[in-house]
Amino acid sequence: MSDKIIITIGREFGSGGREIGIELSKKLNIPFYDKEILAEAAKKSGFSQEVFERHDEKPTSSFLYSLAVGVNNFTHSYQKPLTLEIYLAQFDTIKKLASEGSGIFIGRCSDYILNDEPDALHVFVRSDMEKKVERVMERYSVEADIAEEMCKRHDKDRSLYYNYYANVKWGDSRHYDLCLNSGKLGIQKSVDLIIDCL
């Protein structure tokens, strides 16, 4: 195994993908990057971290709309839409962190951004709705119907965001090295399987 370990984790909302990443980070003793990507990108870009959090894995407008809002009516010059600038700042941050050493990267098109990393392991974590709802109810102290709506909304946002920037389909097994159902495996067995794959 290479000295450098890069793991990217795409995940459905409520599937426990973040928890799996945290456990992997502890077991492998390598950095974990989730919201940390936003903080690092904010430092380098000049935008506040709140701007990054507000747009985090949210779908962008259509290409035509982005062009429309990017055109300055007075000069007719093109300016990059904010959503694109935020994505590019995250892109650069993920690339930089991966170039500096090992890491576990959660979401934000990291598998697509790091697809040229020769030793990277790209993982997608899903689960059945019942298990996702249970996890979201426990984590956010909400009722089942609200938890289910949160899962659907966040997954839709992540899918639209990923499909727009990555130009491939979010969750499509052909774009990952390993796809796991954490609802059946549980967090710990999922972690063990990923380590076995390494």
The pLDDT tens digits of the residues spanning 99-137 come to 999 999 999 999 999 999 988 999 999 999 999 999 999
Do the domain assignments include residue 1? no
Do the domain assignments include residue 31? yes
Provide the CATH number for the domain around residue 39. Answer: 3.40.50.300
Do the domain assignments include residue 198? no
Q: What is the pTM of this model?
A: 0.86
Do the domain assignments include residue 197? no
The predicted-structure confidence for 7-66, as pLDDT tens digits, reads as follows 999 999 999 999 999 999 999 999 999 988 888 888 877 777 788 788 777 766 544 334
Query: Which structural domain, as residue segments, surrounds residue 148?
Result: 6-192
Do the domain assignments include residue 149? yes
Q: Alpha-carbon distance 143 to 192, whole Å?
A: 32
Is the per-residue pLDDT at 77 higher than 60? no
Please count the structural domains in the chain. 1
